[in-house]
Amino acid sequence: MKTHLSNKHQPARLIGAVLLTLAAIVSYHAAAASITGQLIARPVTPNNVATYGLPASMAYSGGLSTVGVGVPVYLEVDVATGVPLSGITNISFTMTGTNKPILSAAVITASPLPTNMGVFEPSDQLIYNVAGRALLQPDVAGQYNVTATVGTMTNGTTNFSLTIFAATYLGVNSYCILCHSGSSRVEDEYQYWTNTAHSMIFTEGINGELGSYSVSCLKCHTVGYDTNAASLADEGFYATQLLDSWPFPTVLTNTNYASMPANLQNLANIQCENCHGPGSEHFYSGGATNMVTVSYTTGTCEQCHDDPPHHYYGTEWYASKHAVTTTIPSGAGRGYCVQCHTAYGFKARIDYTGTNATTFAPTNTFFLTTNDGYIMTNMVNTTYAAIGCQTCHEPHGNTAPADNIHLIRTLANVTFGDGTVITNAGEGELCIECHHSRDGGASNNVALYPLGSNTWVGGSSFGPHDGVQGDMIEGVNAITYGQNIPSSAHRETVSNLCVGCHMQVVLPGDPAFLQAGGHTFEMTYNVVSNGATNVMDKTDVCAQCHGPLTTFNFPVEDYANTGIIQGVQTEVQILLNQLSTLLPNSSGVVDGSVKSSLSVNTKWTQAQLEAAYDWQFVSNDGSLGIHNAPFATGILKASIANLSGTSVPGGLPDAWEIAYFGSITNAQGAPNADPAGDGIPNWLKYALGLNPTVAGIQVSNGVVYANGTGALLGSTNTIQIYTAADVTFNTVAGTTYQLQEVSTLGGGWQNVGEPLVATNNAAFSYLTPTRGNLQQFFRVVHTP
Same domain for 245 and 156? no
Q: Comparing 236-245, 276-285, 650-659, which segment has the lowest mean pLDDT? A: 650-659
- pTM for the model stands at 0.78
Same domain for 139 and 209? no
pLDDT at 38 over 70: yes
pLDDT at 373 over 70: no
Among 111, 145, 167, the domain-final residue is 167
Query: What is the pLDDT, as a whole number, of residue 241?
Result: 94
Q: What is the pLDDT of residues 417-447, one digit of tens each?
A: 888 999 999 999 999 999 998 777 899 899 9
Query: What is the pLDDT, as a whole number, of residue 19?
Result: 27
Instruction: Measure the CA–CA gap between 334 and 378, rounded to whole angstroms.
Output: 9
Q: Is 360 helix (H, G, I), strand (E, B) or coil?
A: helix
Same domain for 193 and 159? no
Residue 76 lies in a domain: yes
Query: Strand pairing of 2-4 and 88-94?
Result: antiparallel
Average pLDDT, the chain: 84
pLDDT classification of 172: cutoffs 50, 70, 90: very high
pLDDT classification of 272: cutoffs 50, 70, 90: very high
Instruction: Measure the CA–CA gap between 685 and 663, rounded to whole angstroms.
Output: 18
Q: What is the largest CA-CA distance in the chain?
A: 102
Same domain for 183 and 249? yes
Q: Which of the two residues, 232 and 766, has the higher pLDDT score? A: 232
Query: What is the pLDDT, as a whole number, of residue 702?
Result: 56
**CATH number of domain containing 22:** 2.60.40.10
pLDDT classification of 547: cutoffs 50, 70, 90: confident
Same domain for 162 and 182? no
What sign results for the dihedral spanned by CA atoms 545, 551, 553, 558? Answer: negative
Instruction: Measure the CA–CA gap between 774 and 784, rounded to whole angstroms.
Output: 33
Residue 213 lies in a domain: yes
Contacts of 241 (CB under 8 A, 6+ apart): 264
Same domain for 247 and 111? no
Closest CA to 429 of 367, 500, 380: 500
Residue 23 lies in a domain: yes
Same domain for 149 and 188? no
Q: Is 708 helix (H, G, I), strand (E, B) or coil?
A: coil
pLDDT classification of 33: cutoffs 50, 70, 90: low
Query: What is the pLDDT, as a whole number, of residue 196?
Result: 92
Q: How many domains does the chain have?
A: 3
Task: Supply the range of the domain harboring residue 133.
Answer: 2-167
Residue 122 lies in a domain: yes
Same domain for 181 and 239? yes
pLDDT classification of 513: cutoffs 50, 70, 90: very high
Instruction: Measure the CA–CA gap between 50 and 55, rounded to whole angstroms.
Output: 8
Same domain for 11 and 121? yes
The CA distances from residue 417 to 366, 422, 608, 625, in Å, are 20, 11, 21, 21
Q: Which of the two residues, 571 and 644, has the higher pLDDT score? A: 571
Residue 15 lies in a domain: yes
Among 277, 311, 339, the domain-final residue is 277
Residue 93 lies in a domain: yes
Winning range, highest mean pLDDT, from 4-18, 420-434, 544-558: 420-434
Average pLDDT over residues 564-572: 91
pLDDT at 773 over 50: yes
Whether the Cβ atoms of residue 551 and residue 568 lie closer than 8 Å to each other:
no
Q: Which of the two residues, 544 and 354, has the higher pLDDT score? A: 544
Average pLDDT over residues 633-660: 82
Residue 154 lies in a domain: yes
Q: Which of the two residues, 363 and 150, has the higher pLDDT score? A: 150
pLDDT at 22 over 60: no
Query: What is the pLDDT, as a whole number, of residue 123?
Result: 92
Average pLDDT over residues 113-140: 95
Same domain for 45 and 76? yes
Q: Which of the two residues, 43 and 747, has the higher pLDDT score? A: 43
Cis geometry, peptide bond prior to residue 784 (ω within 30 degrees of 0): yes
Q: Which 8-state DSSP code applies to residue 311? A: B
Same domain for 61 and 155? yes
Residue 227 lies in a domain: yes
pLDDT at 354 over 90: no
Would you mind telling me the total number of residues written for the chain in this entry? 784
Same domain for 83 and 204? no
Among 277, 298, 316, the domain-final residue is 277
